[in-house]
Structure 1
Amino acid sequence: MEHPPGDSDWLVRPGATLRRLMGLWRPRGRAASLLNRLLAGMTLSCIAFLVLCVALKLIADPPQELEQIALCSLVATIGVGFFVKAALFMAQGGTLRHTVGLLADARLHFSRGDNELTRRRYLKLSNNVHFYGQMVAVPAMIGWVVCPLLSRSVAKADQGLQEAQRQLPAPVWLPVDAYASPTYEILYVAQSFCVLVTAESCVSINLFFVHMMLMVAAELEVLNDNLSALENINLKTRRTEREGLISRYKINGRGLALLNGGQCLDEHALTENAAHEWLHRQLVKNVIHHQAIIRSVALLQSAMNVSIFILLFINMANLCSSLFVAAVLLQRDGNIGKAINALFSIPGLLYETTIYCIFAHIMSDQSERLMYSAFCCGWVNNDARFKRSLGIFMMMTVRPIAITVGKTCTLSKQMLLQVLNGTYGLLNMLYYMHRSK
């Protein structure tokens, strides 16, 4: 089966243009592939540059205060997490394309008129998540770029110490004076550009994974609706009841078109076995739909397994570092610019962690409904073959579909609470260390 092109498919929206500009999503064609590698190299280089700046600072000129060490660690861990996520996203491009193809086939072959309303509703939700993600990311980027300038203008420094009060978006150490012109201006522009690329690459990757989880949830809800629509039919061989059955399934002229069959039965040829066969074919079609969803989730989980597992633990440490740095610097009347940078990072980190856990939980909830939807269909007065097939399907839906990263962490509301609890525990430990000094 030939999959539709991933670049033009609705499943890669929103954010498809941004991912192509950053080289995260490989377009088709040899020339496009070469350009994509150049863009991908530029994106990874921008992320690595920020990590290198902070690493040089920690190695060559480590700060003495615990809050400054926490700030440098915050920038370093955020950069490392973004770099790993971007690199793995590019490496998993074939798997992600296959996932997009499977979901596109599911939408094409398991669709009715009312199902499209469900899919559009989830697509609208995905667009809203993309919009809110940009609303969270843009202020954080502006804060990291602008706050060093604002902090310097607000600081009450002597004229002779003016050069020493210069700040950069990220800590850095160089063998030359990094705060002398024109080195300072070049570094400031370079770091600002790298912050922009790093943040947008992370946002686009996050929204792709969330979009795919929402599209899987849409297919699961469509499957629930189709299962519930298998009506309870009390079949008899009398002509009057056969005519009632025919009128129920939309006769066109004097024939009945059977789904997936391609043939057209005459009104008098319709029998009890034929109606049972029709319902069984609908059940088989739903089973095939369920298998396609399971394969899509397995592929999506393999692409998210390492990067999102690392992301959860890095975000837990980064949330702790941001809260600690902001609280200590504000209490000491210290560097307001760095404190604001830390505060601006908190909404983005919380949003990033929350969307993975909440929307994966939505997908699992739709999966848990499958057994109830199957039980509520019209199975009571159907033949033994239909009941056996339905029983096998219900046994397969006992275990809900979920995204498990790191082979141990299932993305859910409970996982979100565990991350927040871990953040609180780390924050208490840092405060204890800070007070004991």
Structure 2
Amino acid sequence: MAATEPELVWPLPHVVRGLDILGLWVPPPGRRWRHLLVLAFVMVSHVCLLLTVNASIIMDTPSDLPRLSFIAYNCLTYIGLASKMFSFSLDGQRLTELLRLLAASRQRFPDKEGHRARHLVTATRLHRFLQVTYRMNSAYWSVAPIIRIVAAGSASRASRDLVIPLWLPLDTRASPAYETLYCLQLAFGWTVSETTVLVDGSLIALILQVAAELAVLNDRLAATAADIGQGVPGATRVQVSPASPSSLVVRERCGSSITTMSRSRYARDEMYQQLVDNIKHHQMIIRCVSLLQKLLSRATSVLLFCNTVSICFQIMATAVV
């Protein structure tokens, strides 16, 4: 039986509200004007931070290595985050199809051991951990310039640093440009942080739910193998009559021959149906894995490349310092 539209919800229930608000994923029939406007703001936030941070390393390259390393780290980080967000928001059709398959699997194949519930608890804990860590880091980055100004004991232009180093063709430390840029960076930074948490939490939940389907299939295969190992119930056994050594006398030990044949046929049909269901479940899981791989391949490749370059750059900077 196919999944109905109301069942097309994320395996992580408390994430779907945030995805809906930011317009990253909306159940069919798709995004409306409200979702498109919010999604446009999210994309503008990523693009603005990406361009201004990269411009700072191209147009105003710092001379000291620690600051250059810090700005390069920001550039690579925002490249990876922006690619992941754009890839996620543009794959709405694949996400919906994956959710349909997971919903259909939950309906057709029961989970007697509770694998789906345990994986849901794990995904919830990981999402909360990401929320705490990202929000703590965002809060620290937001108040760090204010703390430096207070520690300096004056609000001079020299102590006015922005949350994220950027380059613009104007004096970013003069009022009111500094205050405006500071507020914009706070808004854009929190948007990028919350978007990253939602995207990461959603992808982790989907990965764990597909892994739960594999565990459910493994249990079903183990149960089918156990049934085959026990043999078909009601089987016919034979005895040799000592009174007739030249011939075999077949005696039924489990009732009449008609009852035994009907039970045996029913057991074989039931086992055959279990095998067919397991094959269909396996094909559904293969389809889920294929969709999940397409969802993760682009963003993960770019993010892995950026992180690798960033780690190498930080190692070289640390060695030089």
TM-score interval w.r.t. the shorter chain?
A: 0.7 to 0.9
Residues 141-160 of structure 1: pairs in structure 2 closer than 5 A: 141-155=138-152
In the alignment, structure 1 residue 210 sits paired with structure 2 residue 97: no
Amino acid at match of 1:21: I
Instruction: Provide the rounded CA distance (Å) in 1 between the counterparts of 2:119 and 2:55.
Output: 45
Give the % identical residues: 28
Q: Secondary structure at the match of 2:169?
A: coil
Displacement after TM superposition at 1:12 (Å): 5.3
Amino acid at match of 1:87: F
2:241 matched residue in structure 1: none
Residues 307-346 of structure 1: pairs in structure 2 closer than 5 A: 307-318=299-310, 320=311
TM-score by length of 2: 0.85
1:98 matched residue in structure 2: 97
Question: Of 168, 177, 183, which aligns to 2:171?
Answer: 177
Instruction: Provide the rounded CA distance (Å) in 2 between the counterparts of 1:111 and 1:89.
Output: 30
Q: CA RMSD in A?
A: 2.4
Change beyond 3 A, Cα 1:175–1:429: closer
Amino acid at match of 1:26: V
In the alignment, structure 1 residue 193 sits paired with structure 2 residue 187: yes
TM-score by length of 1: 0.64
Instruction: Provide the rounded CA distance (Å) in 2 between the counterparts of 1:70 and 1:202.
Output: 23
2:246 matched residue in structure 1: none
* Contact preservation (8 Å) 1:237, 1:272: no
* Contact preservation (8 Å) 2:85, 2:199: yes
1:296 matched residue in structure 2: 288
Instruction: Provide the rounded CA distance (Å) in 1 between the counterparts of 2:92 and 2:139.
Output: 31
Q: Based on CA coordinates, which of the two structures has the bigger radius of gyration?
A: 2
Displacement after TM superposition at 1:3 (Å): 3.6
Q: Secondary structure at the match of 1:130?
A: helix
Instruction: Provide the rounded CA distance (Å) in 2 between the counterparts of 1:317 and 1:216.
Output: 31
In the alignment, structure 1 residue 134 sits paired with structure 2 residue 131: yes
Displacement after TM superposition at 1:26 (Å): 2.7
Deviations 1:340-360 (A, max 9, x none): xxxxxxxxxxxxxxxxxxxxx
Change beyond 3 A, Cα 1:427–1:54: closer
Instruction: Provide the rounded CA distance (Å) in 1 between the counterparts of 2:271 and 2:125.
Output: 38
Q: Which runs of 5+ in 1 are unaligned?
A: 244-265, 321-422
Runs (4 or more) in structure 1 with deviation over 4 Å come to 238-243, 266-269
Change beyond 3 A, Cα 1:302–1:6: farther
2:245 matched residue in structure 1: none
Q: Which runs of 5+ in 2 are unaligned?
A: 238-251
Q: Secondary structure at the match of 1:204?
A: helix
Deviations 1:277-308 (A, max 9, x none): 21121111111101100110001101111101
In the alignment, structure 1 residue 430 sits paired with structure 2 residue 317: yes
Instruction: Provide the rounded CA distance (Å) in 2 between the counterparts of 1:274 and 1:164.
Output: 86
* Contact preservation (8 Å) 1:15, 1:207: yes
Q: Secondary structure at the match of 1:223?
A: helix
Instruction: Provide the rounded CA distance (Å) in 2 between the counterparts of 1:10 and 1:192.
Output: 29
Displacement after TM superposition at 1:155 (Å): 3.1
Displacement after TM superposition at 1:6 (Å): 6.8
2:87 matched residue in structure 1: 88
Instruction: Provide the rounded CA distance (Å) in 2 between the counterparts of 1:74 and 1:299.
Output: 31
Displacement after TM superposition at 1:11 (Å): 2.4
2:15 matched residue in structure 1: 15
1:53 matched residue in structure 2: 52
Change beyond 3 A, Cα 1:37–1:233: same
Amino acid at match of 2:133: V
Displacement after TM superposition at 1:241 (Å): 4.9
Question: Of 251, 269, 275, which aligns to 1:283?
Answer: 275
Instruction: Provide the rounded CA distance (Å) in 2 between the counterparts of 1:27 and 1:286.
Output: 29
Q: Secondary structure at the match of 2:32?
A: helix
Displacement after TM superposition at 1:102 (Å): 0.6
* Structure with more contact order per residue of length (Cα contacts < 8 Å, sep ≥ 6): 2
| Count of residue correspondences | 301
Instruction: Provide the rounded CA distance (Å) in 1 between the counterparts of 2:268 and 2:255.
Output: 13
Instruction: Provide the rounded CA distance (Å) in 2 between the counterparts of 1:267 and 1:17.
Output: 58
1:25 matched residue in structure 2: 25
Change beyond 3 A, Cα 1:430–1:176: closer
Instruction: Provide the rounded CA distance (Å) in 1 between the counterparts of 2:172 and 2:314.
Output: 32
Instruction: Provide the rounded CA distance (Å) in 2 between the counterparts of 1:20 and 1:307.
Output: 21
Amino acid at match of 1:77: L
Instruction: Provide the rounded CA distance (Å) in 1 between the counterparts of 2:149 and 2:254.
Output: 86
